[in-house]
């Protein structure tokens, strides 16, 4: 008897929208625990124990998933080989990566990461039954024995009898009457999306039926790089982005003559919605499945789960109610499969009417970005201009600050991600990258602080704040365009920060050339932002590790527990002298947004920090007459700078969008309207008034280019919704 070696690859794509908010794009369904304990991904790996199976032996597990989930994948599969995709391309390119990564003599097992199997022994028996057919050149899939006329699954039609049968057809999701006929015939099985094959066989069928998929996957794998922090292999983004986004069913299985199916009854579910989740859960005497803090009275047949607040429910039947700290969904279980539209609406900018979102999108894409596309780049001398007149005329002769160069690269990269004129956005971003890689470089590594119009170094010192923005620009340009140079610059800047700007105590980072005695919160905040962007673009474990240091510095050093404010600077190291200390309301709002991003990425609980930061900014940092944020206050609430620049207002808007529970309903929309009729009305179309005094008198004589970064971060969520 032959014993086949099987190399399992777990596919970790998808966002699990129908289980929102428990599942989300940043922490999707595979990382979700059904009833506490191991995640669905970890359970998928653990059920592959073939010790008691004589005919097959499992090689170590591998997983293929999104680069943005690299750290999560490593945490849930500590010993697995990881292949990370920098862009989503459906299952066919992922299967191609698996086949290319396996040994030619091995059988390859493709498994979804987020399915439930109640009887793993039956599953292993089915794999054993299909192994000989797979070794003989068949592409074996596993047909789930249908026990009801499901309309939410695709079907496989099979012919013949026995453990391995010939596939006649793959069938799309049917209507109810058709599904009943399928069930009655006994010829149809649910398509579970599990496959077993020899790698050369699948590669041959991909070459025959989907050569573009195979070519892109091969090139991407050949040019993959290793992430030293997670040990993952990250495939080449530009090459992988060329792969058609197509499922393996469409690309190969519906066309191949080599498809076989092994029928299996193993207590399978794809856990596709809350109704399925309710069916898989343990129930109380009233058929309720209850997880987390909940009080029920007169409730039956419902799924109740809270990962955050206490839920009190009375007098309902057949509902799904799921709550996290950030969102709640309520739906009849009978309609749980159809929540996609309401989830999409819930994820739109909170509290901003559709008309206001339309204005934001129009202003950004028709006024603002065209203005800066015409004026931002100095076509004569190179580099980005520092400012425009209030009429929108460039002022190119002013010195160039290092922070503006990467901010503009970021802004146009974000514009491309939002869908604005991708070629024009790319052109401008690439000019900026060329400048970063040329005149802006410091002779001994890193980037200089200031230059003149001709590119001569006025201030050759190297600043932590500037380098954080180089990381952000490179990561975002790589995400937008797949430009290898952008990623190289981001990684170079990250390495420079780690090697030259880390405090010898290991506690955080500082400016050895610009301010060696100070420990400042703002550069840590932007370094956190940059590392989150790099992690999202590449799955870089090193970036996430540095992000963690920045968050710890906030928690342990910069956060004032009495006031709830961020202390801007600590003189003479990390020891905190007696207060009060200077705080900036805009930075409190900005930290809150970034902490929410970090929490979503890592699961680190930061909700109380976020709400306290917003609470301080709203209580102590806001002008009561205008509703706008002051530039600066102290931790006792004294106003240090009563003027109000644009950027703190934009950061307040972002905080409102991400944390609607911290303000009265409609506050984000009201704030946007006040911005529209003041800051965005008192300059040329697409420009802005940068500052007002406490009485509302305009202060700015020009439009600073540095502010386009804040415009993009605040208006991006509005323009994309």
Q: Map 281-337 to HEC letters.
A: CCCCCCCCEEECCEEEECCECCEEEECCCCEEEECCECEEEEECCCCEEEEEHHHHH
DSSP string, 257-273: S-EEEEEE-S-EE---S
The position carrying tokens 């599904």 is 179
Write phi, then psi, for 8 (nearest 5 degrees).
-85, 135
pLDDT at 93: 96
Residue 279 belongs to what H/E stretch?
helix 274-280
How many of the other CB atoms lie within 10 Å of CB of 183?
16
The string over 342-364, giving b where at least 16 C-beta atoms fall within 10 Å of a residue's C-beta and e elsewhere, is ebeeebebbbbeeebbebbbebb
161, 345, 626 from 319: Cα distances, Å: 42, 20, 44
pLDDT at 2: 67
C-alpha 43/C-alpha 34 separation (Å) is 10
pLDDT at 244: 94
Write phi, then psi, for 23 (nearest 5 degrees).
-115, 140
Report, in angstroms and rounded to the nearest whole number, the Rg of the chain calculated over CA atoms. 28
Contacts of 52 (CB under 8 A, 6+ apart): none
Strand 155-159, strand 294-297: pairing: unpaired
Q: Where are the domains of the chain?
A: 4-272, 276-346, 354-719
Identify the bridge partners of residue 704 per DSSP, sorted by sequence position. Answer: 387
pLDDT at 147: 85
Q: Look up residue 193 and give its two tokens.
A: 């999306």
Residue ranges for the chain with pLDDT beneath 70: 1-2, 15-16, 52, 229, 345-351, 721
- CA nearest to 473, candidates 423, 395, 416: 416
pLDDT at 341: 77
Q: Is 520 helix (H, G, I), strand (E, B) or coil?
A: strand
pTM of structure: 0.82
Strand 268-269, strand 518-520: pairing: unpaired
Report the phi/psi class of residue 450: left, alpha or beta, with left for phi > 0 and alpha for psi in -120 to 50. beta
Give the CA count within 13 Å in the CB-facing half-sphere of 714: 27
C-alpha 709/C-alpha 376 separation (Å) is 12
Contacts of 158 (CB under 8 A, 6+ apart): 143, 165, 166, 167, 168, 187, 188, 189, 261, 263
Q: Is 88 helix (H, G, I), strand (E, B) or coil?
A: coil
C-alpha 31/C-alpha 65 separation (Å) is 12
- Is the distance from CB of 567 to CB of 521 less than 8 angstroms? yes
Write phi, then psi, for 498 (nearest 5 degrees).
-65, -35
**The domain at 354-719 falls in which architecture?**
Alpha/alpha barrel (1.50)
Residue range 4-272 forms a domain whose CATH class is: alpha beta
Q: How many helices (H) and strands (E) does the chain have?
A: 24, 34
Identify the bridge partners of residue 632 per DSSP, sorted by sequence position. Answer: 641
Cα first-last separation, the chain? 59
- Is the distance from CB of 15 to CB of 28 less than 8 angstroms? yes
Strand 268-269, strand 450-451: pairing: unpaired
The position carrying tokens 């040994």 is 103
DSSP state of 678: T
Quote the strand ranges of 431-507, DSSP E.
450-451, 457-459
- Is the distance from CB of 692 to CB of 678 less than 8 angstroms? yes
C-alpha 228/C-alpha 243 separation (Å) is 26
């Amino acid at each position: 008897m032959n014993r086949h070696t099987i190399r399992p690859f777990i596919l970790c794509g998808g966002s699990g929208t129908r289980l929102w908010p428990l599942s989300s794009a940043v922490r999707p369904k595979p990382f979700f625990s059904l009833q506490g304990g191991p995640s669905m991904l970890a359970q998928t790996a653990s059920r592959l124990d073939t010790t008691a199976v004589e005919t097959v032996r499992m090689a170590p597990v591998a997983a293929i998933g999104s680069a943005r989930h690299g750290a999560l994948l490593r945490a849930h599969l500590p010993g697995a080989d990881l292949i990370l995709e920098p862009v989503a391309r459906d299952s066919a390119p992922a299967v191609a990566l698996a086949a290319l990564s396996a040994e030619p003599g091995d059988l390859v097992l493709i498994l979804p990461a987020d399915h439930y199997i109640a009887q793993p022994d039956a599953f292993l028996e089915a794999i054993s039954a299909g192994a000989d057919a797979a070794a003989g050149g068949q592409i074996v899939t596993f047909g789930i024995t249908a026990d009801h006329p499901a309309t939410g699954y695709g079907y496989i039609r099979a012919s013949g009898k026995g453990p391995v049968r010939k596939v006649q057809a793959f069938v799309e999701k049917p209507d109810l009457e058709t599904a009943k006929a399928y069930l009655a015939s006994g010829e149809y099985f649910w398509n579970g999306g599990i496959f077993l094959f020899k790698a050369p066989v699948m590669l041959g069928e991909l070459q025959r039926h989907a050569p573009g998929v195979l070519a892109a996957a091969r090139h991407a794998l050949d040019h993959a790089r290793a992430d030293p922090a997670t040990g993952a292999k990250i495939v080449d983004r530009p090459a992988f982005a060329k792969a058609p986004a197509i499922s393996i069913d469409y690309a190969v299985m519906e066309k191949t003559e080599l498809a076989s199916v092994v029928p299996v009854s193993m207590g399978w579910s794809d856990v596709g919605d809350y109704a399925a989740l309710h069916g898989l859960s343990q129930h109380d005497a009233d058929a309720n499945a209850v997880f987390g803090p909940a009080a029920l009275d007169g409730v039956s047949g419902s799924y109740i789960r809270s990962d955050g607040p206490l839920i009190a429910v009375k007098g309902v039947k057949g509902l799904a109610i799921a709550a996290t700290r950030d969102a709640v969904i309520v739906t009849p279980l009978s309609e749980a499969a159809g929540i996609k539209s309401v989830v999409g609406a819930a994820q739109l900018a909170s509290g901003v009417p559709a008309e206001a979102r339309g204005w934001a999108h129009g202003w950004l894409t028709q006024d603002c970005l065209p203005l800066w596309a015409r004026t931002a780049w100095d076509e004569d001398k190179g580099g980005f201009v520092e400012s425009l007149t209030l009429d929108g005329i460039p002022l190119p002769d002013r010195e160039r600050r290092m922070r503006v160069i990467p901010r503009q690269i970021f802004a146009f990269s974000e514009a491309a991600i939002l869908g604005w004129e991708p070629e024009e956005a790319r052109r401008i971003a690439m000019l900026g990258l060329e400048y970063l890689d040329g005149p802006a470089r410091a002779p001994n590594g890193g980037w200089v602080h200031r230059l003149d119009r001709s590119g001569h170094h006025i201030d050759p010192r190297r600043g932590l704040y500037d380098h954080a923005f180089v990381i952000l620009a490179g990561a975002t340009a790589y995400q937008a365009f797949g430009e290898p140079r952008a990623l190289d610059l981001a990684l170079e800047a990250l390495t420079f920060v780690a090697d030259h700007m880390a405090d010898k105590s290991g506690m955080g980072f500082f400016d050895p050339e610009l301010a060696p005695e100070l420990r400042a919160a703002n550069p840590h905040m932007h370094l956190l932002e940059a590392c989150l962007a790099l992690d999202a673009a590449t799955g870089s474990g090193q970036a996430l590790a540095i992000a963690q240091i920045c968050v710890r510095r906030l928690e342990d050093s910069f956060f004032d527990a009495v006031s709830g404010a961020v202390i801007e600077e600590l003189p003479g190291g990390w020891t905190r002298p007696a207060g009060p200390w200077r705080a900036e309301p805009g930075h409190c709002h900005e930290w809150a947004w970034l902490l929410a991003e970090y929490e979503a990425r890592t699961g680190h609980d930061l909700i109380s920090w976020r709400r306290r930061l917003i609470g301080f900014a709203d209580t102590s940092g806001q002008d009561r007459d205008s509703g706008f944020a002051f530039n600066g206050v102290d931790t006792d609430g004294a106003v240090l700078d009563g003027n109000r620049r644009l950027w703190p207002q934009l950061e307040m808007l972002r905080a409102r969008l991400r944390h609607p529970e911290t303000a009265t309903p409609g506050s984000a929309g009201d704030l946007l309207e006040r911005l529209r009729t003041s800051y965005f009305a008192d300059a040329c179309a697409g420009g802005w008034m940068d500052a007002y005094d406490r009485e509302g008198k305009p202060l700015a004589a020009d439009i600073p280019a540095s502010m386009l970064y804040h415009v993009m971060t605040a208006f991006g969520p509005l323009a994309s919704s």
